[in-house]
Amino acid sequence: MMGSELDIGEVARRSGLPASTLRYYEEKGLIRSSGRKGLRRLFDPGVLDQLALITLGRLAQFKLEELPAMLPGESGAALDRAKINEKAQELDRRIDELTALSKLLRHVAECRADNHFSCPRFKKLLRIAFRLREDDKKRHPGKASNTA
């Protein structure tokens, strides 16, 4: 390797991402190779920080198209704090929804009632789940749902 540059195999190993993903991210302009050694792409070690940020963005459910503006560099600006805060609020809402769903499922599994529909707590949890679903439909009107 030249200097401190990393070849694509080393970046893949250190980042845990397959080389095909690295090539795809490069094609999309999320990362940039600094050259080649034979047929292998070379990257500046800073690419590992960019990949960590991309991974964080993907975990937070940012779309790939949203990420270039979030990455430092020639084409990217500083992190968009408003967009990040909006995404954090969206995740908080999702956590609330999943917590309510988890409580409902646990209650169903543990409830000693002969008929769940005669259990007031079960019925309350069902109403909460229904309300969460309706709220989600209002937030995402065009979102396809596989639930009735």
More confident residue, 88 or 144: 88
* Helix, coil or strand: residue 43: strand
pTM as predicted? 0.65
Supply the pLDDT for residue 143: 60
Q: What is the pLDDT of residues 77-117, one digit of tens each?
A: 567 788 889 889 989 988 988 888 888 888 888 888 888 88
Query: Would you tell me how many other CB atoms lie within 10 Å of the CB of residue 130?
Result: 10
d(CA 55, CA 14) in angstroms, rounded, equals 13
Tokens of 88: 């954090």
Supply the pLDDT for residue 54: 92
Q: What is the pLDDT of residues 43-76, one digit of tens each?
A: 999 999 999 989 998 998 888 888 877 776 655 5
Q: How many CA atoms lie within 13 A of 19 on its CB side?
A: 9
d(CA 24, CA 78) in angstroms, rounded, equals 23
Tokens of 143: 């979102």
Residue 148 has pLDDT above 60, yes or no: no
